[in-house]
Amino acid sequence: MIGKLIRFMRKRNKFSQKQLADCLQVANCTLSHYEVESRSVSFADMIRIAEACNFSIKFIDNKTNEVFELNDMKRKDV
């Protein structure tokens, strides 16, 4: 599922794998492995991918349905 999400974000921005990999300073094959889910992507790299593709990462508290956006959270809270 994460791989499909990464590919969706990349394609939505009309990035080739090479363009996004260059932006992230990772090898093209690394990004390819993320997309086909043959390699796990770290949370830090997922944040970098989302930022490069102009997406935000949000969390929903299932008890209160409150939405927290990662960019609004303080670094110490994460």
Residue 65: domain span: 2-77
Closest CA to 26 of 55, 46, 1, 11: 46
Look at residue 10 and tell me whether its pLDDT is greater than 80: yes
Q: What confidence score (pLDDT) does residue 30 get?
A: 96
Q: What confidence score (pLDDT) does residue 76 get?
A: 46
Question: What CATH number did the domain enclosing 46 receive?
Answer: 1.10.260.40
Widest pairwise Cα distance in the chain: 41
Global model pTM greater than 0.75 = yes
Q: How many domains does the chain have?
A: 1
Q: What confidence score (pLDDT) does residue 46 get?
A: 93
Q: What is the mean pLDDT of residues 22-26?
A: 95
Q: What confidence score (pLDDT) does residue 77 get?
A: 52
Q: What is the mean pLDDT of residues 6-15?
A: 97
